[in-house]
Amino acid sequence: VREDWLCTLSARPHSIFEMAENLRTYAAPEVGSRGVVETVRLLPRERSLIFMVSDFHMPISDLEESLVLMQRHHIVPVVLWDSSEYTDLPEFGITNVTDPESGVKRTLFLRKAYRDRILQSFTDRRKAIENLFLRYDMQPFFVENSFDADLLSEYFHQYVAA
């Protein structure tokens, strides 16, 4: 967790716009998922509505550890996925991939069977993420490719008690 990216509650809205602009060009110097556990110390003590926004490509154990620590809060998990990461792969050929959490770059020789395994692993991952959040009574909201405000409104009508 980088302290210089924290933004406290303020009556000066320009700081939010400044931070948003800085995020457009930000490239993380390090990768990893332990930040999800470290952020818990920054949350308020009183019960709060927390939007947990991520692609959740991290070890399930790190995610579960953070959920255990945040149980007093109402968590809305927002899962951001770009389907081109796994659907735009060729059935045959060479492609380069970078693991978003470790930063490791690899060159893969794809065949139809290998491509199908990758697609299945994303399906399995989605199910694992859903199952974990549901164990803690949190329905995840998936945003795939683009955000639709109407779908988020429907999510709140369906899954959040008034």
pLDDT tens for residues 22-67?
A: 888 877 666 666 777 888 888 888 999 889 988 888 889 999 999 9
pTM (2 d.p.): 0.77
The pLDDT value given to residue 5: 67
At which residue do the structure tokens 């491509």 appear? 115
Cα separation of 83 and 41, whole Å?
33
Q: What secondary structure does DSSP assign to 21-60, as a single string?
A: HHHHT---SS--STHHHHGGGGS-SS--EEEEEE---S-H
Cα separation of 37 and 1, whole Å?
9
Closest residue by Cα to residue 137 from 46, 87, 85, 67: 67
The pLDDT value given to residue 66: 92
pLDDT digits (tens, 9 = 90+) for 68-126: 999 999 999 999 998 877 777 777 888 887 776 667 788 888 888 888 898 899 999 99
Cα separation of 23 and 5, whole Å?
9
